[in-house]
Structure 1
Amino acid sequence: MAGQFEIFTDAEAKVRFRLLGADGSVLAISRSFEDKRSAVAGITAVRECAGTGLVKEARSHARAGTGGTRPGQPAPYPRRHRPIPAA
């Protein structure tokens, strides 16, 4: 069995959908929509772009607090190439 989309109503009475894997595990949950028709349009948009979408790694800015180093760790210095002195 292939994965499937499931439309549901959340705790705030908004309509959402979730993408379920072949084994029934939840792979993704959508943002909230005002009505079922809008959620179906969201599913259609996901279907159209999912097969051709590029994979991109999101990188956060280090000053925003979500950089590549652990909290309390100094950022590594950039490497600079130094000329080797003549002997």
Structure 2
Amino acid sequence: MAGVFEIAAAGEESYFFKLTAPDGTVVAVSPLFSTIKGAAAGITAVRENAATGLVVDHSSAAKPAKPARPASSAPLPDALVTSR
């Protein structure tokens, strides 16, 4: 079973949506929207972009990948050296 998007009111003139996993775990909560149509458009955007979105790990456990060294001991060309 797929997750469920739920639209809810947040006060009198604000709406948000949440994505809930089949086991009831809340996976995502949206920012506030001023209309229900805005919240529905947010759901559409998540549906369209989630499957193709990149995963970027900003956690402290993530370490930048080092470029592979060529078999020779010659230094890497500048075009292959990256810095963050």
Which TM bucket (shorter chain)?
0.5 to 0.7
The aligned residue for residue 44 of structure 1 is: 44
* Shift, 1:57, TM fit: 1.6
Please report the RMSD computed on the Cα atoms of aligned residues, expressed in angstroms: 1.6
Taking structure 2 as the reference length, what is the TM-score of the superposition? 0.64
Q: What displacement does 1:58 show?
A: 2.5
Q: Is the 8 A contact 2:13 2:35 kept in 1?
A: no
Unaligned runs of 5+ in 1: 60-67, 69-87
User: What TM-score do the two structures reach when normalised by structure 1?
Assistant: 0.62
Q: Are the counterparts in 1 of residues 16 and 33 from structure 2 also a CA contact under 8 Å?
A: yes
Deviations 1:1-29 (A, max 9, x none): 21110000124641000000011111110
Q: Give the equivalent residue in structure 1 for 2:9.
A: 9
1:48 shift after superposition: 0.3
Larger Rg: 1
Quick one: percent identity of the two aligned structures?
Answer: 48
